[in-house]
Every structure is written in structure tokens, then in C-alpha cells.
Amino acid sequence: MKYKIIVYYDNMEDSVEVFDNKDEAIKRLHHLRGVKYRNSRMYTIEMVEVE
């Protein structure tokens, strides 16, 4: 199973990162939400499982 971290800017896809390990994907998700895009309302980040 692979995991994608998708960053949306103003509801448009901005960047995609693919991870093989769920723990690494969750760490990256928390880093993006907590550090990089903390107070930015224009950015949304989501994690998606991919077959």
C-alpha cells in the first residue's frame, strides 16, 4: 500500500508526495500541517491511501 500526501492551494492541487511507509507519511503530514502551513487558510493537506 502506498500513501499520497496532497497539498491543495485554493482548492487546486499544488504538490503530491508518495510514501511507501505509513509512519513516514504521517510524520510528513504532521510536519506540513504543524510547521509549514500552520496559519495559512489557503492551503489544505490530506493523506490518501493508494493501491
From CA 18, how far away is CA 42, in angstroms rounded?
22
Mean pLDDT computed over 26-50: 94
Q: How far apart are the first and last CA of the chain?
A: 5
Kindly report the average pLDDT of the chain as a whole number. 95
What local confidence, expressed as pLDDT, does residue 51 receive? Answer: 87
Instruction: Count CB atoms within 10 A of the CB of residue 42.
Output: 10
Helix, strand, or coil (residue 28): helix
- The C-alpha cell at 25 is 507519511
**Contact between 21 and 43 (Cβ < 8 Å):** no
- What pTM, to 2 d.p., does this model score? 0.88
